[in-house]
Amino acid sequence: MKLLEVQHLYKNYGDFQLEDVSFSLPKGFIMGYIGENGAGKTTTLNLITHLCRADSGTITIDGISYEEKPKQFLESIGFIGDESYFPGEFRLNDIRSVLKMMYPSFQEEKFNTLVTDWKLPSKTKIQDYSRGMRVKLMFASVLSRDTKLLILDEATNGLDPVIRSEIIEMLQDYIMDGEHSILFSTHVLSDLEQIADYIIFIHNGKILLNETKEELLETYVMVHGALSDLTEEKEKKIIGITKAAYGFDGILSSADAEGFGSEFVLEKANIDQIMIHLIKNGGNSR
């Protein structure tokens, strides 16, 4: 069953347009939303969370739109970005009080358990927390509410590997019951390699790829070789080719890789490599 459904979103900022963005995210799954800076990722997330309004298109969460039930729609969303949204002068007691006032579903006991388990200091101002502590605090504020959709916008950027590993575990626990889902926009694509079920690639405001992670990773392979072995016919098949003094690399569709030649090195491509070479190719998959 679909938890999040986005249909034909359009937003015109004059110098940038988000055009006909459509996708759906089933319950119990994680979707990676990737693309270069300025591609439209944050614009899409802002439209879903209603920080800004779309010029046209529809968004529903568990079948409910903002227009139908605005309070229920917004309370079903948990959002974590790359910057803390809590005032720097606040301490834990201040945040606890605000959450109790703003969200009927806030569970104070669960919040207290999380901040205690994560050793978040109660008397320290939030502005004096480390980045890892601030991210954990945002997770505590979200996980102690009755949300359905967790939206992450570069939430793991700049975190050390240990904290990122802890967060990955939190995300997997969040969807474990099959009733929650996560939309994860990040440049740390290795995180998506671990946990994403679906990958959407957006470029210049348009969705170019919308596939399961397994389908995407099976669609392309990396190719390396010497320029002296590269014929014009073979070069036409390479997507986003990068040439150096003597060699080159790029990606190939798996179909084109068959019989490409034993003089070339073919290996499995990761999500990062696929995105980079598609961008080099102007967003074209051929």
- What would the pLDDT profile of 30-58 be if each residue is shown by its tens digit? 999 999 888 999 999 999 999 999 999 99
Residue 98 burial class via C-beta count within 10 angstroms: exposed 0-12, middle 13-18, buried 19 and up: middle
Residue 121 CA to residue 129 CA, distance in Å, equals: 8
Return d(Cα 143, Cα 180) in angstroms, integer: 11
Query: Residue 132 class from Cβ within 10 Å (0-12 exposed, 13-18 middle, 19+ buried)?
Result: middle
**Would the pLDDT of 286 be above 70?**
no
Tell me the percentage of the chain whose pLDDT exceeds 70: 99
Q: Report the amino acid identity of residue 196.
A: A
| % of the chain with per-residue pLDDT over 90 | 74
Band of residue 259 on the pLDDT scale cut at 50, 70, 90: confident
| Sequence-ordered list of residues with C-beta below 8 angstroms from that of 179, at least 6 positions apart, any chain | 27, 28, 148
Rounded average pLDDT over 64-79: 94
| Average pLDDT of span 96-110 | 92
Residue 215, C-beta contacts closer than 8 angstroms, at least 6 positions apart? none
Q: Can you give the pLDDT at residue 144?
A: 94
Between 12-21, 204-213, 253-262, the lowest mean confidence (pLDDT) is in 253-262
Asked if residue 283 has pLDDT above 80, the reply is no
pLDDT score for 113? 94
Structurally, at CATH architecture level, domain 216-280 sits in: 2-Layer Sandwich (3.30)
Q: How far apart are CA 113 and CA 217, in angstroms?
A: 39
Q: Record the pTM.
A: 0.91
pLDDT at position 285 is: 65
259, 237 contact by CB (below 8 A): no
Sequence spans of domains, the chain: 2-212, 216-280
Residue with tokens 């399961």: 212
> Residues 10-16: contacts with CB within 8 Å, 24+ apart?
10/54, 10/55, 10/56, 10/57, 11/43, 11/47, 11/52, 11/54, 11/55, 12/55, 13/43, 16/40, 16/43, 16/205
The pLDDT of residue 131 is above 90: no
The pLDDT of residue 126:
93
* Residue 230 vs residue 82, higher pLDDT: 230
Position 201 scores a pLDDT of 94
User: What CATH code would you report for 2-212?
Assistant: 3.40.50.300
Check residue 167 and give its pLDDT.
86
